[in-house]
Amino acid sequence: MPEVLLGIETSCDETSAAVLVGEAARPELASLVILSQDVHAVFGGVVPELASRAHLRALDPIVREALAEAGLPLSSVDGIAVTQGPGLVGALLMGVSYGKALAAALDRPVIGVHHLEGHLFAPTLEDPDLEPPFVALLVSGGHTLLLEVVDWGRYRLLGETRDDAAGEAFDKVATLLELGYPGGPPIEQLAATGTDRFRFPRPMRNDGYDFSFSGLKTAVLHAVRASTDLGADRADLARSFQDAVLDVLIEKTARAVEETGHPIVVLGGGVACSQALTRRMTERLRGLARVAVARPRLNLDNAAMIARAGWFRLGRGERHGHDLDADPSLPLPGLVRDSTPPSRLRAS
């Protein structure tokens, strides 16, 4: 088990480094530095080539800043955890190449981490007693997954998006409403002043555990085009869209809780920064399960969650060699994809 672990995250448009310290299975966060690439707002979405170049420029200064904030020299690092995938291949390559080179120079172990497993571990940085089994809803710009976490490293897929991720839908609708990028925060702020006047469809809300948001985006597009006064309709459009997405996410998660009997729901990913989602999920699950969600800084793409998942993997004796490579479609390790009903007991 390492005593000082450096985490590196470059899966998309945040360059991040973090340092975890500890002597047991419950490390403490010593520092976290995140640099967001604001240039993408000009284009209404992430430009992969620009993201890769920005990571290349920022990585070394960000790592040095994280070590300085932790008050530790580079030589004190016992291991390095870096996002291996999924994500933008060029962005991932920047982090993986840097992490491998640093590990080789220091003669330290390196471990590639699955980005979504990082999101699963993020709440444990503030809630160290959080343990499986639980239901997890991971919602971001690139992913929407509903999982049964049987144990750390053992995951059962309940449902996933068939087309667009929830976060991507927020970004595209924000563009339609002329709210800028990223879309989640401005939509939530505007929705607070609107009503669910448009009553958009709740796609697949009562149909299994999979998700689909492409049709909802189309419904918003038609409503925007039909509007004769977008300025007057904008708040109600934002509220109607947000309510439709949250209704689907919450009802499917609640059904998974009822079927598994697990007393905890973990929310992770950028969309989990939504106060409306956390508030409504907590209300819906009152008496059934508690909702565990990290603060926004730990839900956005960040190196602290990567370091925490890496701490778990290194603690099990896992290592990667010099052949570690970025994988934009990396499968979640320990994921079971079958039709077995959610279990009520921890798997043996």
Confidence at 337, pLDDT banded by 50, 70, 90: confident
What's the confidence (pLDDT) of residue 348? Answer: 33
Ordered by where they begin, the domains of the chain are: 4-123+298-336 (3.30.420.40), 131-293 (3.30.420.40)
Mean pLDDT in residue range 311-318: 95
Look at 52 and 196; give whichever has higher pLDDT.
196
Rounded Cα distance, 119 and 124, in Å: 10
Q: What is the pLDDT of residues 108-139, one digit of tens each?
A: 999 999 999 999 999 999 999 999 999 999 99
Q: What is the pLDDT of residues 170-180, one digit of tens each?
A: 999 999 999 98
Q: What is the mean pLDDT of the chain?
A: 92
Q: What is the pLDDT of residues 16-50, one digit of tens each?
A: 999 999 977 789 999 999 987 555 455 566 677 78
What's the confidence (pLDDT) of residue 53? Answer: 87
| Side-chain-facing half-sphere of 154: CA atoms under 13 Å | 10
What's the confidence (pLDDT) of residue 338? Answer: 62
What's the confidence (pLDDT) of residue 39? Answer: 54
What's the confidence (pLDDT) of residue 117? Answer: 97
For residue 189, pLDDT over 90 is answered with: yes
Instruction: List the beta bridge partners of residue 8.
Output: 17, 82
For residue 307, pLDDT over 70 is answered with: yes
Rounded Cα distance, 128 and 133, in Å: 14
Confidence at 182, pLDDT banded by 50, 70, 90: confident
What's the confidence (pLDDT) of residue 256? Answer: 97
**Whole-model pTM?**
0.92
For residue 347, pLDDT over 50 is answered with: no
What's the confidence (pLDDT) of residue 160? Answer: 95
Q: What is the pLDDT of residues 53-75, one digit of tens each?
A: 888 899 999 999 999 999 999 99
What's the confidence (pLDDT) of residue 340? Answer: 56
For residue 305, pLDDT over 90 is answered with: yes
Mean pLDDT in residue range 268-285: 96
| Side-chain-facing half-sphere of 348: CA atoms under 13 Å | 0
With left for phi above 0 and alpha for psi between -120 and 50, is residue 124 left, alpha or beta? alpha
Q: What is the pLDDT of residues 212-226, one digit of tens each?
A: 999 999 999 999 999
Contact 77, 3 (CB under 8 A): no
Confidence at 102, pLDDT banded by 50, 70, 90: very high
**Which stretch of 139-148, 245-254, 284-293, 336-345 has the lowest confidence by average pLDDT?**
336-345
Buried-exposed string 253-284: b where 16+ CB fall within 10 A, e elsewhere: bbbbbebbebebbbbbbbbbbbebbeebbbeb
Confidence at 339, pLDDT banded by 50, 70, 90: low
Rounded Cα distance, 296 and 275, in Å: 10
